[in-house]
Chains A and B, each alone.
Chain A
Amino acid sequence: GQNIDQPTEMTATEGAIVQINCTYQTSGFNGLFWYQQHAGEAPTFLSYNVLDGLEEKGRFSSFLSRSKGYSYLLLKELQMKDSASYLCAVTDSNYQLIWGAGTKLIIKP
């Protein structure tokens, strides 16, 4: 079956760095997405990785290792507004998005 695992919840301090991990087992791979979702709102796109390596975009970076079925989202200089759920999603061989359950990130002052 298809499976995406990410931690349920994480807590970090304002100004610090946090890494949210995602491992996946899917039938085929055509890219991995990270989305941010604030409570009561739709997800917003953060990053897309299809090749191995690190993609940096401002305070957010995303890493992918296809051989390990592993990705992480790195958030630097955390701000209170970063408190949200972070969803990992993988596009399988049929270009369907397979969603992880999301990681709720709590930022403390």
Chain B
Amino acid sequence: GAVVSQHPSWVICKSGTSVKIECRSLDFQATTMFWYRQFPKQSLMLMATSNEGSKATYEQGVEKDKFLINHASLTLSTLTVTSAHPEDSSFYICSARDREDYEQYFGPGTRLTVT
């Protein structure tokens, strides 16, 4: 089946630094990738949708200059959290969908802790 990986699985960083999270589709071409954020005991919140080769579409309330998304190839999307603050601490999950499929395949998630 379709496999999506994320790296790193967890990261601790200091306030003010930047963190990059990678999302890769391992056995299919992901024309669309989605980035979600999930706070404890809450549902998934879509942050942005990215299509290969074009700029990401951000959801209302998500700062595009703070959460930089790059979908440079059909198998890789990156999310960079710039100038991280403790309130950015969350579980970040990516998902990917190929043009032939209706389903989104989820990565295992990245737990970010900003100290």
B11 to chain A, nearest CB (A): 15
Chain B's interface size range is 10 to 19
Interface string of A8-48 (1 = CB under 8 A from B): 00000000000000000000001101000000111111001
Does A87 contact B44, Cβ atoms closer than 8 Å?
yes
Given the interface pairs A87-B43, A87-B44, A99-B43, the reply to whether A42 lies near B103 with Cβ below 8 Å is no
Is residue B104 within 8 Å, beta carbon to beta carbon, of the partner chain?
yes
State whether the Cβ of B93 lies closer than 8 Å to any Cβ in chain A: yes
Chain A residues closer than 8 Å to B49, beta-carbon distance? 96
In the assembly, what is the distance between CA of A18 and CA of B99, in Å?
35
* Residues of chain B in range 69-115 having any CB-CB distance to chain A below 8 Å: 91, 93, 102-109, 111
Return the contact of B106 from the options A30, A43, A91 (Cβ within 8 A): A43
Decide: A42 and B107 in contact? CB cutoff 8 A. Answer: yes
Q: Report A90-109 CB contacts with B as 1/0, cut-off 8 Å.
A: 01000111011110000000
Report whether B46 and A97 are in contact in the complex, using a CB–CB cutoff of 8 Å: yes
Q: Name A85's closest neighbour in chain B (CB-CB).
A: B43
24 contacts between A and B (CB under 8 A): A31-B102, A33-B103, A41-B108, A42-B93, A42-B107, A42-B109, A43-B44, A43-B93, A43-B106, A44-B106, A45-B103, A45-B105, A45-B106, A48-B102, A48-B103, A87-B44, A96-B49, A97-B34, A97-B46, A97-B104, A99-B46, A100-B43, A101-B43, A102-B43
